[in-house]
A and B are shown apart, each in its own frame.
Chain A
Amino acid sequence: MAIAEASASGHGEFEQSRFRAIRGPAGLVMGYVATILVLVTLNFFLPRALPGEPLEALSNPRSPTFIGDQERRLAVEQYYGLDRPAGEQFLAYLAGLMRGDLGKSIRYNVPVSTLIAERLPWTLLLGGTALTAGTMGGVVAGIRSGWRRGRDGDRLLLPLFVALDSVPMFVVASVIISLFAVQLGWFPLSGARTPFSDAWPPWRQALDIGHHLLLPAGLLAVQFSAFQFLVMRASMIGELGSDYIRLGRAKGMTDRILKYRYAARNALLPTVSVVGLQAGLAVSATIFVEAVFAYPGLGRLMVEAIASRDYPAIQGVFLIVTVMVLTANLAADLAYRRLDVRTRR
């Protein structure tokens, strides 16, 4: 899926900012703010405008999503304020967002912001570890494969990465669990830590968390590396035709120095953009991996919320996750501008 999306959005457009109406970093920031405004508006209007009136159904005793518990139903009705005019609802929603009020979860009966604060660190730990490891692995594999394009090892790598990229995450996750956690018994089945391990000494708790992290993070890292690999490989091949490589060869430089110190360094630039693009794709993969591994992050929270049609929770996670991805994209775009001298003019 990543390849389909990436090739669709066009590798060649990395150098250009998304919002080309206004040039420079100011244009990037304006695009970022505009997109967030669109997101907030979408998040307000979607539950109210979609067919089937999902919000009304929550208070309709004959609907399957009716909230039986009166206290919870009143909290939801009050949060969405459906008896008030739409304009007033929107203002109240915006004012709530400013205060960090994302409503109350129907399923857990606690503020959504509290739930998100509990789950966010786990997602950051899982996603951050995987993104770091995956980027490094993909870049190194891309350098090697690009340098030796068309030769023995390289011919196997491409089909392998295409296959890796198209196989659904939740299937692979289940196979990995069955293999490493059940058959071999090397890793725990699910979760982020052993239950009731709070009383353990800190070093043992850290080991335990790492032990639980290794399988899901490793799997995500492999997934993330696929895209980074393809971009790095293509970028590397682009550099190999350059004059400076021929000059280096003519001067008798060793392959090793040419490969890593010259070609790879120049080819590395697009990977910065990829890290930003990856953030969006990483979210998809992480949601599925958390669901299969029962890892207590935001993705799992979203999937749990779906089962009980817990709209405030789904909407809250949606907003936080999308803002995080947009911020990562902005950071990558700004970093790219600083790194690439050509775009600074």
Chain B
Amino acid sequence: MTASASWFLKIGGAITGVFLLLVVAGPALAPYDPQAVVGASLVAPSGAHLLGTNDAGQDILSQLLVGTRASMLTGILAATLAVAAGVLVGATAGLLGGWADLVAMRIVDVFLAIPALPLVILIASLASPSRATIVAVIALAGWPPISRIVRSQTLVLASRGYVHAARGFDSGWPYVVRRHLVPGLAPLIVATYVNWASAAIVLEAGLAFIGLGDPTAVSWGSVLQRALGHAGIYATAAWTWWVLPAGLAIAGAAIGLAFLGVAIEPRSNPRWARS
């Protein structure tokens, strides 16, 4: 696997780079206003509309380009929140030990035992639909497993000889955390973050697809929801320029980040490096 790690890094990095560029430049590149009616209903791709129009006569390419920002940023924001909370809980529990650790880990156990998607759906459908709700529920699904691995890694690091040595030379915990713990945890955190960004983008699109997205935003998931909800979508040729590009965008972003995650993981996680 070490040999193919660089392959994963190249492909994953290239795909992710393109999508990150589109997050910045997407809205500027969009030829039309994604919400405006700019043509007839379900026009096939042409020079004027490279990916045709949807049932309302909106330009699909513009919707996808503008939606890149909403979809990717929601995913990235949710992953950031999940990783931050997970690292905070995991590292603190690992360092403190004792009762704090026991209580925190029992709470994590309960969250890990409950299947994430039904819980996310329940909360998202009860709360008012907005970007903040979506980010919060995805982060809620993410932090418990993340805190688990961060805690394990913290325990491993804290028992290392150099930490004992540093403690023996009378260095305080702030020094140990800054000097040994942060560098020791960093690779693991980066890999986890990339994996969760991938999962969060898919989850965001999935929630939008089942009708739990931010109703005011144009995103990949909202394009898909409208397309697959269109009666007889499979009966017309519109499937190829309406559903397929939106699906490819979601899948592409997810695969890019997942490949990047695989490429980073061996260095931080001995479990994968062995295989």
Q: Chain A residues in contact with chain B, CB under 8 A?
A: 1, 3-5, 7-12, 18-19, 21, 31, 34-35, 38-39, 42-43, 46-47, 50-52, 54, 149-150, 155, 158-159, 162-163, 165-172, 174-175, 177-178, 181-182, 189, 233-234, 237-238, 279-281, 283-284, 287-288, 291-292, 302-303, 305-307, 309, 311, 314-315, 317-318, 321-322, 325-326, 329
Contact = CB atoms under 8 A, between A and B. Distances in A.
B125 A314 contact: yes
A50 B115 contact: no
A280 B202 CA distance: 17
A115 to B, nearest CB: 16
Contact of B116 (A5, A18, A175, A234): A5
A3 B114 contact: no
A159 B259 contact: yes
A322 to B, nearest CB: 6
Q: What 8 A-B pairs have minimum CB-CB distances, sorted nearest first?
A: A8-B145, A171-B247, A166-B258, A284-B117, A4-B195, A280-B115, A1-B199, A52-B128
25 contacts: A1-B203, A8-B146, A9-B112, A10-B152, A18-B112, A18-B113, A35-B109, A42-B119, A50-B123, A158-B262, A163-B255, A166-B251, A167-B255, A170-B228, A177-B234, A181-B234, A182-B235, A279-B115, A280-B115, A283-B117, A303-B210, A306-B125, A321-B118, A322-B119, A329-B113
Given A3-B261, A18-B112, A21-B102, 16 more contacts: A1-B203, A4-B195, A7-B269, A10-B152, A18-B109, A163-B259, A166-B198, A166-B202, A171-B247, A182-B234, A237-B274, A281-B115, A283-B117, A291-B210, A322-B114, A325-B115
B96 interface: no
B8 interface: yes
Given A3-B258, A171-B224, A287-B117, A9 B145 contact: yes
Nearest to A39: B114
A214 to B, nearest CB: 17
Interface string B97-118: 0000010001001101111111
Contacts of A234: 271, 274-275
A233 B234 CA distance: 38
Contacts of B148: 8-10
A38 B113 CA distance: 11
A307 B209 CA distance: 11
Nearest to B243: A174
A38 B110 contact: yes
Given A12-B271, A309-B125, A283 B118 contact: yes
B72 interface: no
A175 B248 CA distance: 10
Nearest to B234: A182
B116 A178 contact: no
B16 to A, nearest CB: 12
B244 interface: yes
Given A1-B199, A166-B198, A19 B109 contact: yes
The interface residues of chain B, by DSSP majority, are classed as helix
Contacts, number: 197
B19 interface: no
B211 interface: yes
A167 B254 contact: yes
A284 B116 contact: yes
Contacts of A279: 115
B127 interface: yes
A326 B244 contact: no
B43 interface: no
B236 to A, nearest CB: 10
B196 interface: yes
A279 B269 CA distance: 26
